[in-house]
């Protein structure tokens, strides 16, 4: 594995467990047993690291969404929730997009665009699922676009609540209502 990829792996996990502002180049250097200056060789600034992180994460997440091939809408939605649940780990980490969305330090425009893109892609995917659910009658009848917003907000909020409580089952409890209508 090349150094750059290993740095991204460690940085992603630190951002998801502690928050992007709560880890430093020194943390990354320690993790890879190198010096801070060497980390700067791979990512000249922390803003550049942020952009590389969120871009890679978005591409990876959307690739996994594209692999969901269940024919019925309710099963597709279950797979989506399971994917979000997986990013929560044991309640000690967040989806990187949620972690970045929580972050208050104003990222630059490029990072903001990636966060927005992540949300837009997710909303489009979910709206398609809810529209299918009307047709195959496996999901409650509702405005697909509105249901998509509610579903994404619920999943993100459930992650925050679960992480604050340190108990992953809070996520399951909150998201269980999505399929019940």
Partner DNA sequence: GTCTATAGAGTGATAGAC
Partner DNA sequence: GTCTATCACTCTATAGAC
Task: Tell me the C-alpha distance between 51 and 38, whole Å.
Answer: 19
* 59 CB-near residues (< 8 Å, 6+ apart): none
**CB of 23 vs DNA, minimal distance in Å:** 7
Binding marks (x or -) toward its own copies, 96..115, rule CB under 8 A? --xxxxxxxx---------x
**CB of 113 vs its own copies, minimal distance in Å:** 12
Site for DNA in 1-60 (CB under 7 A): 2-4, 23-27, 29, 33-38, 40-42, 44-47
Based on the shown chain and the rule CB under 8 A, indicate whether residue 89 belongs to the binding site for its own copies.
Answer: no
Residue 6 binds which entry of its own copies, DNA, none, with Cβ cut-offs from 5 to 8 Å by kind?
A: none
CB 58 within 8 A of CB 121: yes
Distance of alpha carbon 34 from the chain centroid: 29
Task: Please compute, for residue 122, the number of CA atoms within 13 A of its CA located in the half-sphere on the CB side.
Answer: 27
* 131 CB-near residues (< 8 Å, 6+ apart): 144
**CB of 91 vs DNA, minimal distance in Å:** 24
Binding site for its own copies (CB under 8 A): 17-19, 21-22, 98-105, 115-116, 119, 140, 142, 146-147, 149-150, 152-161, 163-165, 170, 173-178, 180-181
């Amino acid at each position: 594995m090349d150094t750059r990829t290993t740095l991204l792996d460690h940085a992603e996990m630190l951002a998801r467990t502690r928050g992007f502002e709560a880890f430093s180049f020194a943390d990354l250097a320690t993790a890879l047993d190198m010096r801070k200056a060497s980390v700067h060789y791979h990512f000249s600034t922390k803003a550049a690291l942020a952009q590389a992180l969120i871009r890679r994460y978005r591409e990876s997440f959307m690739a996994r969404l594209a692999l969901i091939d269940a024919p019925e809408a309710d099963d597709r939605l279950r797979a989506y929730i399971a994917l979000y649940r997986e990013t929560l780990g044991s309640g000690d980490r967040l989806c990187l997009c949620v972690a970045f969305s929580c972050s208050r330090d104003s990222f630059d425009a490029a990072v903001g665009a990636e966060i927005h893109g992540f949300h837009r892609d997710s909303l489009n995917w979910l709206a398609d699922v809810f529209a299918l659910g009307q047709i195959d009658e496996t999901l409650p009848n509702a405005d697909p676009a509105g249901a998509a917003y509610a579903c994404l907000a619920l999943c993100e909020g459930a992650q925050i609540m679960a992480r604050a409580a340190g108990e992953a089952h809070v996520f399951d409890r909150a998201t269980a209502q999505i399929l019940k209508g």
